[in-house]
Amino acid sequence: MGLSVPACLASIVTLAALAEGGAAVPYQPMTPPAQKMSAEARPAEPAKAVAPKPAAKTAKPAPVKAAAPAPTPSASTIVYVIRRTEDAWTVMDPTAIEKVADGPVRRAYSVTVRRNLLNGGPPQPGYVRTLNEFDCDAMKFRWRTFTIFNRFGAVVVKQDNAEPAFQALGRGSEEEDIFRTVCDGGGGGSVVAAPSLGLLVIGLMQGWDEAAMASSLSELPPTPEPEPKPAAKPASKPRR
């Protein structure tokens, strides 16, 4: 196993080996380390290669955002007002009329908005949604189902017709007015434009609420004016 010789002792080991062999070895002074040389004797250090600086990145142009399209006004729904009183409105959407099979029967919903669902007590607005079917040839009708909703849209009562036989239209009845709209294409009593049938129903109930509140405020007795307070008496001066 050989011994490794440190690099700093390699020149000394070589000189000793040559002296033992009898060979004359000229004197060679050792070169002092570079850090101990004077500035004049110190060899110039090779110039360091300067790495080229990376080219500056050009800023990417900001993407041009397309202008948002102008909002289009919402289309209004034409609602037929079949019958209108101070306490109830019966309305329907004519676009929701459905043809049953290929026969003369037409099916449509009507909505009756009522100022008060009850017969007495404080007004409780709500609405009734009824599904009717009309035989346009025989001029007869039958109701299939109706649902009563309160002002918040919750179901109060729902009932289906247990006797779905067609009946004759009553003269001057609400069903006759709906028949003219469904089968004859009439516009009912009047026509109104609204964003939707549901918003029209909500608007009617809100209008009745505001009218009831204004009526209640007008019935309140006037507030009596406060009586003026008597003037304070001046303080009497103490006697000397």
Q: Would you say residue 200 lies in a domain?
A: yes
Q: Would you say residue 176 lies in a domain?
A: yes
Report pTM. 0.58
Q: Give the per-residue pLDDT at 57.
A: 60
Q: Give the per-residue pLDDT at 106.
A: 94
Instruction: Report the CATH number at residue 142.
Output: 2.40.128.710
Q: Give the per-residue pLDDT at 142.
A: 95
Q: Would you say residue 31 lies in a domain?
A: no
Q: Would you say residue 11 lies in a domain?
A: no
Q: Would you say residue 125 lies in a domain?
A: yes
Tokens of 133: 């079917």
Structural domain boundaries, residue 103: 77-207
Neighbours of 35 (CB within 10 A): 6
- Residue 118 makes CB contacts below 8 A (sequence gap 6+) with 124
Tokens of 134: 């009309």
Ranges of the chain whose pLDDT falls below 70: 1-75, 187-188, 216-224, 231-240
Q: Would you say residue 92 lies in a domain?
A: yes
Neighbours of 132 (CB within 10 A): 22
Q: Give the per-residue pLDDT at 9.
A: 37
Domains in the chain: how many in total?
Answer: 1
Q: Would you say residue 169 lies in a domain?
A: yes
